[in-house]
Amino acid sequence: MWKRALTLLSVLVVLVGVLAGCGGAPQETKAPEPTPVPVEPTAEPTSAEPEKLILGTTTSTQDSGLLDYLLPEFEKEYNVKVDVIAVGTGQAIKLGEDGNADVLLVHARAKEDAFMEAGHGVRREDVMYNDFIIVGPAADPAGIRGLTSAVEAFKKIAAAKVPFISRGDESGTHTKEKAVWKEAGSEPSGDWYVSAGQGMGEVLTMADEQQAYTLSDRATYLARTAEGLGLEILVEGDPLLFNPYGLIAVNPNKGPQIKAGLASVFLDWFISLPVQEKIAQFGVDKFGQSLFTPDSAPWREHTPSP
């Protein structure tokens, strides 16, 4: 019996030794770091695609720099891209008639009224005005300097047969020129009279190069003098040379492409007091005078005539 007990005691001693040789209590093991899961970068929010508005206008609003001055503010405020088609007023009105423009900014009142009466437009607003001037070389071979009558000046140019460059493009300026020739009782023709079929900027350049006379809107002329144009203002101040501009919304019946709602927003924006004030300041810093005088209904109500 005692032998059996001794045997069991020996086994226990051996087991205790084995456990002691294993270093005692087990050590803590650190769990492995989790593998990071790649995260897709968050995309920046994108703004809606700008809506497009097509503006058919005369070259004077483009060549003078007025549109570059005004339109970025409208585009930013309303998330709109204004596509400008700058041609003569006659061509701009044709764009409207054909449904190829949403808005027109032009300066030939008789043509504008006819456009509205024919139902091509749904709304017209006065927006601004300036005037036409007769410009020519400093030598003034026709002797028109200082005249206050455009009709008398045209008569003297025709009698002297000195070079005259005409827009010849059915623009607002060309329409006014033809009206002055009609008042003068003359139908100009011959080598001295050149029908250019070009915009105002190009015609001023031609007249400068050829030392010729031409009829120009004041804004484009002043803008070009900053680029070195050498022609001088010889005749100004005749009421016949008054040059008003109108803004017209094209009839949406021209087709589904016409942005009638956006056109109305554009007209409201253009005739608003803040924009009219910007027009009043345009050119003052460079020329000491505004290139256009604001003339919308809200402006006239806010700024009574003296």
**Is residue 13 domain-resident?**
no
Domain boundary pick from 221, 241, 261 = 241
**For 175-195, what is each residue's pLDDT tens digit?**
999 999 999 999 999 999 999
**Is residue 253 domain-resident?**
yes
For residue 116, give both structure tokens: 């509205």
Range of the domain at 68: 51-129+244-302
**For 132-173, what is each residue's pLDDT tens digit?**
999 999 999 999 999 999 999 999 999 999 999 999 999 999
What is the pairing mode between strands 121-136 and 242-250?
A: antiparallel
**What distance separates the 2 farthest-apart alpha carbons in the chain?**
158
- DSSP category for residue 40: P
Domain boundary pick from 207, 226, 241 = 241
**For 5-34, what is each residue's pLDDT tens digit?**
434 444 444 333 434 444 444 444 444 454
**For 87-111, what is each residue's pLDDT tens digit?**
999 999 999 999 999 999 999 999 9
- The CA distance from 164 to 193, in Å, is 5
- Quote the number of domains for the chain: 2
**Is residue 287 domain-resident?**
yes
Q: Are residues 77 and 58 in the same domain?
A: yes
For residue 45, what pLDDT band results from cuts at 50, 70 and 90?
A: very low
- The CA distance from 262 to 269, in Å, is 10
CATH code of the domain in which 287 resides? 3.40.190.10
pLDDT, position 304: 72
The overall average pLDDT reported for the chain is 88
Q: Are residues 253 and 161 in the same domain?
A: no
Domain boundary pick from 241, 271, 287 = 241
Which amino acid is residue 214, in one-letter code?
T
**Is residue 27 domain-resident?**
no
**Is residue 197 domain-resident?**
yes
